[in-house]
Structures are given as structure tokens and as C-alpha cells.
Amino acid sequence: MTTEAAPPPGSTGTPLAGPTAEEFVSVQQSPEFAELRRSYRSFAFPLTVAFIAWYLLYVLLSNYAGGFMGTKVFGNINVALVLGLAQFATTFLIAWLYARHAAAKLDPRAAAIKARMEASE
């Protein structure tokens, strides 16, 4: 008894031949792919560095500036709590900004590359 999986519904049952390794290398070396990679990196790297610096600042302030972090802002709310909540806010802000950037700049370029690769099959 064999344990072969059934083909997906609507398929012919034969696997499709995908792009070759040479085609992938060709696309990777294309100016279109280079621009996609540049667009991703120019957005992701600076925001990553900025967020890590912001996080480390919070940690350093927590460890070495206890008096400042304990300063009451209003009621029982101190600077440490405000900055800690700001960490969450900036995380969600960065995720939202990345989603917008990807939808506007990355996804259309990636879809064009994918369509070209699928058309060459």
C-alpha cells in the first residue's frame, strides 16, 4: 500500500515544473529585484536600528536613572510607565507603517516579479 497524497482538487495530478535555478539567479541579479531589495532595506534597517536604540535607552534609563524613571507624571503614573507603554505604541506604529510600505511599494514589485517567473514556466 502506497502513501501518496491525492492531488489537490482541480489539478491534473502531475506536478508543475517550476522555474529553474538559473532563472532564479537571473531574477535575483535583475535591476527590478535589486530595486525591490533596496526599497525593503531602506525602510526596514533604519526603523530596526531606531527601535533597538529606543528599547535600549528604556532599559538603560530603568537601570541607571531610577530617580528620573520614578518621577510622577500625574497621580500614580510615573515616567517609567509612560515610556513602557510608549514601547508598545511604537511597536504597533512600526508594524502599521511597514504594512503600508509593503502594500504600496514592496507587494506590487514582488507580484510583478512573481508573475514574470510564473509566465516563463
Domain boundary assignment for the chain: 29-119
pTM above 0.95, yes or no: no
CA-wise closest residue to 50 among 83, 79, 87, 80: 87
The pLDDT value recorded for residue 76 is 93
Per the CB < 8 A criterion, the answer to whether 32 and 112 are in contact is yes
Q: How does 69-101 read in b/e, with b if 16+ C-beta sit within 10 Å? A: beeeeeeeebbbeebeeeeeeeeeeeeeeeeeb
The pLDDT value recorded for residue 77 is 95
Determine the 3-state secondary structure of 63 from DSSP.
helix
The pLDDT value recorded for residue 17 is 67
The pLDDT value recorded for residue 85 is 96
Query: What is the mean pLDDT, run by run of 10 residues, along the chain of 121 residues?
Result: 58 66 88 94 96 96 95 95 96 96 95 87 65
The pLDDT value recorded for residue 3 is 56
